[in-house]
A and B are shown apart, each in its own frame.
Chain A
Amino acid sequence: MENINVEEMDNVVVLFAGDSGDGMQLTGTLFSNISAEIGNEISTFPDYPAEIRAPQGTLGGVSGFQVHIGSGKIYTPGDEADVFVAMNPAALKINIRKVKKGGTIIYDENSFQKNDLTKAGFATDNPFTELGVSETITLVPTPLTNLTQTSLEGFGLDNKDILRSKNMFALGLICWLFNRPMDKAEHFIHNKFRKKPAVLEANLKVLNDGFNYGNNLHLAISTYSIVRSDSTLPGKYTSISGNTATAYGLIAAAEKAGLQLFLGSYPITPASDIMQELALRRDLGVKVMQCEDEIAGITTAIGASFAGCLAATNTSGPGLALKSEAIGLAVMAELPLVVIDVMRGGPSTGMPTKTEQTDLLQALHGRNGESPVVVIAPGTPDDCFHYTFMASKIALEYMTPVIVLTDAFLGNGTSLWRLPKLAELPEIKPNYVPADLTGYNATTRNEDTKVRYWAVPGTEGFAYRNGGLEKDYYKGGISSDPENHQKMVETRAAKVKGVENMIPDLEIFGNENADLLIVGWGSTRGHLMSSVVSMNKKGKNVAMVHFNYINPLPRNTEEVLKKFKKVVVCELNSGQFAGYLRAEIPGLNILQYNKVQGQPFTVTELEKQFEIILK
């Protein structure tokens, strides 16, 4: 590689896009894993269509995978791609706006024939001119299809199987471009295909040919060198998606609490991965039921909770709506329950594969009666582990449903995860009824914390009757006494409010005397953080707080928000958190920045907005 111009960069964004059958998700995942293994920070964002196989070559079938790798802290999958691999014209058309000025587009010229262009709705033979692609962008036509066919000659594969290996050629080429060691790439491909020797052999061949193609032809582009990250804590790491991290949080919490884990579930995009991940874990004794509907998903979990399990249900927005009445039952029966909502574009069926933060008010208030629950929102894919663990701890220690709000961006996206040991995690002590307590009933509680005591069926001497009807505060029987109802409403609210005693205070990131405080919650953490870092580098004085605990709010919320002259709440909805803050904190003067497009923020648009506010 002596003649090649090696460009040193702190970080780089690579976007793979093609037909949903082109294997772009796998290519992207492999590339990010290889990069993580050699010590880069990573953040990924899969963006795929709701249709499983839209007609080949059409705009509806484009599936993309964006990877951000860096030598320093990486908070987001990146706004714009430095390198874009386009497998067909439809992928080009959909993603061209995501390519950086001065970037590179590598495309499969064999898939840019007349017919392909027509399918993607191009009128002319030159899609680049038609799209007005900037002249600063380097175009690298590569005969990916033909090269793959040549590479696999004599392998005895049919043409369909050969074409399916195109993505490995692209991966090999990209590995060359970024100086990724081939042995790491081969290692991951080995693991992926070890049960299919013929496929494995073909993929390895194509991968290496892709690498060699780049090397031999000295493609007329710079290669990139991203040095290993030194900002990460030393330790063992893996790359994990938010959905898997969520599943693992539940597993860890159950083991820590010494409880059986039960998940009642129903398939729904983009949350099903959590059920699937847990269904794999029969070896850890996890009981997963795929139920007949969303309501059975949560009510089997409530039954399991009543029977003494750490019980959870997972869903997305429409499913959360169906579960509302049952969440109310868990509130009333004061049973521990973890409800995970992987939010997607709504209302109704909305945009099932796209990301949004639009279920916040549904989580906080979407039930009949005065029905407070704890609401928690992780900020990054690997965060989903910690916050699902904490949700389980709170549910068991406070005898309450806890709703965890992740979203499609977190659930499908991946980040580096420092592997924990169970022993390092906080203790979980379910609020069991003390063995020497007498006169136990459905409302017997710890009078200091207002947390109801949990008697698990099978325990002698504590058989009791629970249910959704209002109960007498002292005797536990059914009651519709007016004063008693008010007392019970206040008791349930006080119990949930009491959770603030175990959650950390907000931390201000940046200067406490900044001109502007940026406020976010949940999955927007990375984008907001990146924009704050970038603006401060440019000499702008902005600070940030990020909320993971939504209800109850951290105790210093009012103090922090009132400390700054200008406060802007940024969220991927029309202002739900901002409205909630105004309701909780009288006299709060806040600005809003909202986006509801089914896509995450971009750092560029955030900075632009903050510049305007600062003026």
Chain B
Amino acid sequence: MEAVKLEYTPKDFKSDQQVRWCPGCGDYAIINSLHKVMAEMGIPPHEIAVVSGIGCSSRLPYYVSSYGFHTIHGRGAAVATGVKVANPALTVWQVTGDGDCLAIGGNHFIHSVRRNIDINVLLFNNQIYGLTKGQFSPTSLKGQVSKSSPYGTIEEPFRPAELTFGARGTFFGRLLDVDLKNAQQVMLAAAEHKGTSIIECLVNCVIFNDGAHNWLAEKNTRPDKMVFLEHGKPMIYGVANDKGLILENGQLKAVTIGENGITEADILVHDARNPNPTLQWELAMMKGPEMPVALGIIRDVPAESYNDAMDKQIADIKAKSKIKCFDDLVDSLEQWEI
């Protein structure tokens, strides 16, 4: 269905509820970006559903003027799946956190990705349980000290990108809470993608895990520590825009343009549409200090969504079947007169 694009402002997508995250929480930046993206998309609030599970981030539906559903811990992906499959005309956003999505909701997460349900998933990753007051999460770094790991965790973290690729995801993007302009671009691309769009949002928990992303978020040095990936654009970054990525012996390598004979032509051009995820995977896994962290649209591969496939199959079978209604179904049964 082609929706008529209407003129909206971010205010049209703000609800009357007072936002109640902690002062300084990274979630504020995300919701501001989301309000702007919704306005830019021009889809009326009543044709949008925002679904969440449990956790700080999952309070977000209360702060959007669309239809919203704040469900139970870990089940946001399954509820959002039901909403979209049942009513594909709706634009569905799922809001979740690292605990909600990857611990209690891990099963629903990988299966919604595998099925390629057309939903946009904002995965707020602050590497901690905030609402339950400071326990480590499945993305907390190994050794992290928290209330439930007073001597440091002894387990390896999940990386959302690896799970997404492992579950054969078609879209993976990453954004940083304070990097507003880029964040909006990633959200827009996710919304345009047909299928499950996973957006890992690196957000700061100011109370229980403050500064987890500081090494990256620090404004002055940020351009040297991250590369913003866009399909068809060279992987160039840096304060002076002179750094880039090349492949050397099959490995990604960070280089400086103008040094060692490297020219702009040597820099890799990002292919987010490549169905083969190998390079996208490596890009998503890059970490400092040697390598920049990849933000942006890392993978964006066209594929049929589950909900479209369902509707198509229904249309095909309907066209072939003589059974058009309940009475036809009853008539088709083996029957006899008594």
Residues of A near any B CB (own CB < 8 A)? 33, 36-37, 39, 188, 191, 228-229, 232-239, 248, 251-252, 255, 260, 262, 264, 281-285, 287, 289, 291-293, 295-296, 299-309, 311, 325-326, 328-329, 333, 419-422, 455-469, 477-478
Contact between A303 and B83, CB atoms less than 8 A apart: yes
Complex Cα gap A308–B89 (Å) = 12
Q: Is B81 an interface residue (CB 8 A)?
A: yes
B89 contacts which chain A residues (CB < 8 A)?
458
Complex Cα gap A419–B338 (Å) = 11
Contact between A309 and B87, CB atoms less than 8 A apart: yes
Which of A283, A333, A456 has a CB less than 8 Å from the CB of B318? A283
Stretch of B181-189, B234-242, B267-275, B322-330 with 4 or more beta carbons under 8 angstroms from chain A: B322-330
Contact between A303 and B72, CB atoms less than 8 A apart: no
B132 contacts which chain A residues (CB < 8 A)?
none
Minimum-distance CB pairs A-B, first 3: A303-B82, A467-B70, A283-B321
Complex Cα gap A325–B80 (Å) = 17
A305 contacts which chain B residues (CB < 8 A)?
82
Contact between B45 and A463, CB atoms less than 8 A apart: yes
B337 contacts which chain A residues (CB < 8 A)?
234-237
Complex Cα gap A188–B72 (Å) = 49
Which of B46, B62, B75 has a CB less than 8 Å from the CB of A465? B62
Residue of B nearest to A230 (CB): B338
Contact between B336 and A236, CB atoms less than 8 A apart: yes
Given A191-B334, A303-B51, A458-B46, are A422 and B325 also a contact pair (CB < 8 Å)?
Answer: yes
Which of A238, A252, A264 has a CB less than 8 Å from the CB of B335? A238
Chain B: number of interface residues, binned into ranges: 35 or more
Min CB distance A61 to B, Å, is: 29
Give chain B interface residues in 50-87, CB to chain A under 8 Å: 51, 61-62, 65-72, 75, 78-87
Residue of A nearest to B73 (CB): A325
Q: Is B107 an interface residue (CB 8 A)?
A: yes
Could you say which of B44, B72, B107 has the most chain A C-beta atoms within 10 Å of its C-beta? Answer: B72
Residue of A nearest to B306 (CB): A289
Contact between A458 and B47, CB atoms less than 8 A apart: yes
Stretch of B24-32, B295-303, B309-317 with 4 or more beta carbons under 8 angstroms from chain A: B309-317
Contact between A457 and B70, CB atoms less than 8 A apart: no
Which of A33, A232, A291, A457 has a CB less than 8 Å from the CB of B49? A457
B283 contacts which chain A residues (CB < 8 A)?
none
Give chain B interface residues in 188-245, CB to chain A under 8 Å: none
Min CB distance B302 to A, Å, is: 23
Q: Is B111 an interface residue (CB 8 A)?
A: yes
Contact between A39 and B65, CB atoms less than 8 A apart: no
Residue of A nearest to B16 (CB): A477
Residue of B nearest to A235 (CB): B338
7 pairs across A/B with beta carbons < 8 Å? A234-B337, A251-B326, A264-B78, A304-B85, A306-B49, A421-B327, A469-B70
Complex Cα gap A248–B107 (Å) = 31
Complex Cα gap A282–B313 (Å) = 8
Contact between A283 and B317, CB atoms less than 8 A apart: yes
Contact between A422 and B327, CB atoms less than 8 A apart: yes
Min CB distance B205 to A, Å, is: 21
A36 contacts which chain B residues (CB < 8 A)?
336
Contact between B317 and A232, CB atoms less than 8 A apart: no
Tell me how many residue pairs across A and B have CB atoms closer than 8 Å: 203
Contact between A291 and B111, CB atoms less than 8 A apart: yes
Min CB distance B155 to A, Å, is: 23
Complex Cα gap A238–B72 (Å) = 43
Min CB distance B114 to A, Å, is: 9
Contact between B329 and A237, CB atoms less than 8 A apart: no
Give chain B interface residues in 266-307, CB to chain A under 8 Å: none
A232 contacts which chain B residues (CB < 8 A)?
338
Which of A255, A262, A333 has a CB less than 8 Å from the CB of B325? A255
Contact between A307 and B107, CB atoms less than 8 A apart: no
Which of A234, A260, A300, A460 has a CB less than 8 Å from the CB of B79? A300
Contact between B82 and A308, CB atoms less than 8 A apart: no
Contact between A238 and B333, CB atoms less than 8 A apart: yes
Contact between A262 and B86, CB atoms less than 8 A apart: yes
Which of B67, B69, B317 has a CB less than 8 Å from the CB of A282? B317
Contact between A329 and B72, CB atoms less than 8 A apart: yes
Complex Cα gap A188–B17 (Å) = 64
Min CB distance A491 to B, Å, is: 20
Complex Cα gap A293–B108 (Å) = 9
A33 contacts which chain B residues (CB < 8 A)?
334
Contact between A461 and B46, CB atoms less than 8 A apart: yes
Complex Cα gap A188–B334 (Å) = 9
B72 contacts which chain A residues (CB < 8 A)?
299, 325-326, 328-329, 468
Complex Cα gap A235–B108 (Å) = 48
Complex Cα gap A329–B68 (Å) = 14
Contact between A237 and B336, CB atoms less than 8 A apart: yes
- Other than A264-B82, A283-B324, A467-B62, give 8 A-B pairs with Cβ distance below 8 A: A284-B323, A287-B314, A300-B82, A419-B335, A457-B46, A463-B46, A463-B68, A467-B71
Min CB distance B194 to A, Å, is: 18
Given A236-B336, A458-B46, A465-B69, are A303 and B90 also a contact pair (CB < 8 Å)?
Answer: no
Complex Cα gap A461–B87 (Å) = 18
Complex Cα gap A419–B49 (Å) = 40
Given A248-B329, A463-B67, are A296 and B78 also a contact pair (CB < 8 Å)?
Answer: yes
Contact between A299 and B75, CB atoms less than 8 A apart: yes
Min CB distance A44 to B, Å, is: 15
B107 contacts which chain A residues (CB < 8 A)?
292-293, 296
Contact between A292 and B70, CB atoms less than 8 A apart: no
Complex Cα gap A191–B325 (Å) = 22
Which of B70, B84, B90 has a CB less than 8 Å from the CB of A468? B70
Could you say which of B83, B336, B338 has the most chain A C-beta atoms within 10 Å of its C-beta? Answer: B338
Contact between B336 and A37, CB atoms less than 8 A apart: yes
Could you say which of A238, A255, A289, A303 has the most chain B C-beta atoms within 10 Å of its C-beta? Answer: A303
Contact between B336 and A296, CB atoms less than 8 A apart: no
Given A460-B44, A465-B62, are A291 and B78 also a contact pair (CB < 8 Å)?
Answer: yes
Given A300-B78, A302-B71, are A458 and B90 also a contact pair (CB < 8 Å)?
Answer: yes
Complex Cα gap A229–B337 (Å) = 12
A458 contacts which chain B residues (CB < 8 A)?
46-47, 87, 89-90
Contact between B87 and A295, CB atoms less than 8 A apart: no
Complex Cα gap A459–B83 (Å) = 14
A464 contacts which chain B residues (CB < 8 A)?
67-68
Contact between A307 and B90, CB atoms less than 8 A apart: yes
Q: Is B15 an interface residue (CB 8 A)?
A: yes
A325 contacts which chain B residues (CB < 8 A)?
72
Contact between A252 and B326, CB atoms less than 8 A apart: yes
Complex Cα gap A134–B245 (Å) = 89
Could you say which of B80, B83, B313, B325 has the most chain A C-beta atoms within 10 Å of its C-beta? Answer: B83
Residue of A nearest to B325 (CB): A255
Given A232-B338, A463-B66, are A304 and B82 also a contact pair (CB < 8 Å)?
Answer: yes
Complex Cα gap A299–B81 (Å) = 9
Contact between B70 and A303, CB atoms less than 8 A apart: no
Complex Cα gap A325–B104 (Å) = 13
Give chain B interface residues in 90-136, CB to chain A under 8 Å: 90, 107-108, 111
Given A262-B82, A282-B314, A303-B81, are A237 and B44 also a contact pair (CB < 8 Å)?
Answer: no
Contact between B326 and A236, CB atoms less than 8 A apart: no
Residue of B nearest to A296 (CB): B78
Complex Cα gap A248–B67 (Å) = 32
A455 contacts which chain B residues (CB < 8 A)?
67
B86 contacts which chain A residues (CB < 8 A)?
260, 262, 287, 303-304, 307-309, 311
Could you say which of A239, A281, A300, A464 has the most chain B C-beta atoms within 10 Å of its C-beta? Answer: A300
